[in-house]
Amino acid sequence: MKNLKIGDRVCTAWLKESCQQCENCWAGWESVCEAQTNYGFTVDGSFSEYVIASANFCNKVPEDLSSVQAVPITCAGVTTYKALKESNVRAGEWVVIVGGSGGLGHVGIQYAKFMGMRVLGIDRGLDKIKFMEGLGCDAVLDEDEEGVVEKVLKVTNGGAHGAIILVPLQSCITEAVGYLRRRGTMVLIALPPGDFSANTVDVVLKAITIKGSIVGTRLDLAVSPYLRPSP
């Protein structure tokens, strides 16, 4: 690799490498390559002191970013950043982040605010509500309270433009269909067991999009707000 040299600080995401030859890789979607390998899943490396990485799948860490700051960006960060991009929510529009105080959610909130979105964080418990408020959420809701759908509709003045689901609860997916506005997009990251139900009438009449998102690509990691090279 001509862009790396001995002594460089680099980071690598959950995806160790892909085949780089299939149609998905050619299209810039190595994250869904069927032949990909992943740290801690198909190869060793997760939570290790040392790891063997593919240079083609490493990103340089900017000098003004510490290693401690870079680590969560390469997993939770690039995952939520990709999901926010896939939601098609634009600056000034509402995105709901379900599980906003968790490992992925707290980074997702910060990315969404950086991208100019209006953020409604949902989680359970007063401590988590206060934590999300401290991250800059424009509004917060407790999932344990009744009437979540109605409250989201009221806060967002007619419904959210997008929703990022980060908790493995089928009920949260069902609720999102109810509070998304017309042409809204729900992005699923969490993996609740089994199937989920959605009101078909709402999905069709509101032209709602439901899509999955697993992790970002090397390009997503390279241009993400907190890891992009310094000018």
**pLDDT tens sequence across 111-126:** 999 999 999 999 999 9
pLDDT tens string 49-107: 888 888 899 988 988 889 888 888 888 999 999 999 999 999 999 999 999 999 999 99
Q: What pLDDT does 40 receive? A: 87
Helices 148-155 & 170-179 angle (0-180, nearest 10): 40
State which H helix or E strand residue 134 sits in.
Answer: helix 126-134
Domains parsed from the chain with CATH numbers: 10-78+218-223 (3.90.180.10), 79-212 (3.40.50.720)
CA-nearest of 171, 154, 166 to 128 is 166
CA distance 57 to 13: 8
